[in-house]
Amino acid sequence: MHSKLLKVFAGYQESHVQFSLTEERTESGKVQAKYVTVKKPVTADIWKQHLEGKIRIGIRPEHEGKCSWSCIDVDPANYKDYSQKKYVDIIAKYKLPLVPVLSKSGGLHIFVFFNKPYSIQKVKDKLCEINEQYFLANEVYPCNKTINMPYCNHKRTREFAYDDENYPLSLERFLEEVENKTVDPEEFCQIEVKENEIESDWSHYPPCVQKLIQEGWSGNNRHQFLYNVVVLEIKKQPSISLPDLETLILQRNIKIFTKPLPEQEVRTMVKSIHKEGYGFQCPPKHIEYQVICNKELCKTRKLGMGDYVPDIIDDFTDIAYIQDTKNTFYEFTFKDKHVSVTPEDMKDEKSWRVKLLRYRIYWLTLPKPRKGPSPFELLMKGIVEKSVESKEHAYVDTLEEERYLILKDFFENHIEQDKFDKLKDSYIVLDSKTNVCYFKKYTLDRFLKKNSTKAFNNTQDALRVLGCKRKDYHEGEKNVWYVEMPEFVRHESVKKEVVKEKVTEMDDEYHSKFRTAKAKADIQKNH
């Protein structure tokens, strides 16, 4: 049998752990142990010693990025009053290929076995999905940790497996059960996880409250636990009356707690929460509560501590956005109407109602909570997050084009060549030797203001787009900005000035203006 177990629990080859139990337990009842890492793989002989009770071993399931088995580690909030039957019943009810085994502390290791090694991540993703729906355990393997192996000292052990009828299995029967439930990993990853509806809205509860209802509680801090149950019931039914709420919570008090709180204490608590509209007490103050808290999962639950978008979001289809340089529009299909709205239409529910009335859609105001964001706000958030860019009206960024046209106009209408004395006269001066342009900041500033353009946030924005740099001094001018002549500017627009030579009395041209027409004709004839 030890050879079969070696194959069934094949895992990490670099090392394993050996451990011994101590006399200590945690407040919840978990048995403590001392662990030693042994840097060699598990062998058939080591398994034999484990079965004989000479040693206890722990193995990691992962090996070279794959695993041939995995596990959900259920650590109940209170081991004393814990029963594994509810989990065994779930496995049987949904025909899950899982084998539950009692842990050393009396919790549950829920194993799955594969007929071949498979991707760790894919296995873990599916196992986490199963866990979140049915078991709400704190750990799912593989997780780079060893898990304690069952059937230590197998003839006297209490660390045995259960069948679907909740009967304990001997080691021989366990191996048969493993063989019967071994599954192809690809098929396992395709398992449809159905809702375990112990009661309506079960899958939407905060994990802590869900676990309390599922397992019950016999420990301390009952007041805080029941407090969150009250908040849950108000979130389920925001308009519930005080008498109805009291009746419901008194029933919860009896069912959840081994020792229920006094009736008057419960009524006082319910009245206070109902009046003030308090939220969940999170994060938990007590260690006992922290064990059953799963904040990240809670945020995703409809009735949890997160901001949940109302179910009505599902009635909005084909949600798209259209964007241009000035605004964004949202389009969707709602009540068989194709609707287009602006951000202004979405700013509050009144504006929203008026907009939809234009499409002959009457909008019923969503109920407002006593605390936190309104359902309408969350709905708008959902529409924005679900929207995709319209393919028909895909955004074309014309802003950059507009910016460059403005800058092109600036350069081509203000440029002089090599005349640095004109910097102070609002000109751009091109240094013909270096092809670098120089100008004062106020020159650009005046140009932008004159053209009343909104393409730039400010003058500094335009300088950034150009990639300009500043010089303290240039050709006697302070604070001059410079940049190499931009490629988008036509150089031929910069025309060289033709300088005429000064005409003196010694030149024939000087006297020609005084000559008569006849004299000019005779001169031309002689030439």
The alpha carbon of residue 137 and the mean position of all alpha carbons in its chain are separated, in whole angstroms, by 22
For 249-386, where are the E strands, in sequence order? 317-323, 328-334, 337-341
The alpha carbon of residue 108 and the mean position of all alpha carbons in its chain are separated, in whole angstroms, by 31
Does 9 reside within a domain? yes
User: Do you find a cis peptide bond into 168, omega within 30 degrees of 0?
Assistant: no
pLDDT of 57 higher than 90: yes
Distance, CA of 210 to CA of 194 (rounded, Å):
16
Asked which of 335, 354, 389 is the last residue of a domain, the reply is 389
> Do residues 319 and 383 share a domain?
yes
The helix (H) or strand (E) run that includes residue 16 is strand 16-25
> Do residues 215 and 288 share a domain?
yes
- What's the CATH number where 56 sits? 3.90.920
Angle, CA of 373, 374 and 380, to the nearest 5°: 95
Tokens, residue 81? 């009053």
Beta bridge partners of 330: 321, 341
Rounded mean pLDDT, 488-501:
53
Does 247 reside within a domain? yes
| 8-state DSSP, 501 | P
Beta bridge partners of 179: none
The alpha carbon of residue 364 and the mean position of all alpha carbons in its chain are separated, in whole angstroms, by 31
pLDDT in tens, 288-309: 666 677 777 777 777 887 766 6
What is the pLDDT confidence band of residue 424, given thresholds at 50, 70 and 90? confident
> Do residues 96 and 174 share a domain?
yes
pLDDT of 320 higher than 80: yes
What is the pLDDT confidence band of residue 137, given thresholds at 50, 70 and 90? confident
The alpha carbon of residue 440 and the mean position of all alpha carbons in its chain are separated, in whole angstroms, by 48
Count: domains in the chain: 4
> Do residues 369 and 430 share a domain?
no
* Residue closest to 8 by CA, chosen among 133, 111, 129, 162: 111
Contact residues for 107 (Cβ-Cβ < 8 A; gap 6+): 30, 73, 74, 75, 76, 79, 82
pLDDT of 499 higher than 80: no
Distance, CA of 288 to CA of 77 (rounded, Å):
7
* pLDDT at residue 476 in the model: 78
pLDDT of 496 higher than 50: no
Q: 206 versus 504: which is more confidently predicted?
A: 206
Answer yes or no: are the C-beta atoms of 156 and 171 closer than 8 Å: no
Answer yes or no: are the C-beta atoms of 397 and 389 closer than 8 Å: no
* Residue closest to 140 by CA, chosen among 181, 109, 100: 109
pLDDT in tens, 246-273: 988 998 888 888 888 999 999 999 999 8
* pLDDT at residue 488 in the model: 77
Beta bridge partners of 433: none
Residue 237, judged by CB atoms within 10 A of its CB (0-12, 13-18, 19+), counts as exposed
Contact residues for 315 (Cβ-Cβ < 8 A; gap 6+): 334, 335
> Do residues 50 and 123 share a domain?
yes
What is the pLDDT confidence band of residue 395, given thresholds at 50, 70 and 90? low
* Residue closest to 73 by CA, chosen among 104, 50, 94: 104
Asked which of 235, 269, 300 is the last residue of a domain, the reply is 300
Distances (CA, A) of 391 to 318, 330, 490: 12, 13, 36
Does 498 reside within a domain? no
Rounded mean pLDDT, 98-116:
92
Query: Residue 487 is part of which domain span?
Result: 399-493
| 8-state DSSP, 133 | I
pLDDT in tens, 69-81: 999 998 876 666 5
pLDDT of 497 higher than 50: no
> Do residues 38 and 123 share a domain?
yes
* Residue closest to 467 by CA, chosen among 448, 480, 486: 486
Does 337 reside within a domain? yes
Tokens 């002959």 belong to which residue?
360
* pLDDT at residue 291 in the model: 67
* pLDDT at residue 498 in the model: 44
Does 513 reside within a domain? no
What is the pLDDT confidence band of residue 371, given thresholds at 50, 70 and 90? low
Answer yes or no: are the C-beta atoms of 61 and 121 closer than 8 Å: no
User: Residue 186: CA atoms inside 13 Å, Cβ hemisphere, count?
Assistant: 1
Asked which of 162-166, 251-255, 398-402 is least confident by mean pLDDT, the reply is: 398-402
> Do residues 54 and 183 share a domain?
yes
* pLDDT at residue 130 in the model: 92
Helix (H, G, I), strand (E, B) or coil at 483: strand
What is the pLDDT confidence band of residue 516, given thresholds at 50, 70 and 90? low
Considering the entire predicted model, what is its pTM? Answer: 0.46
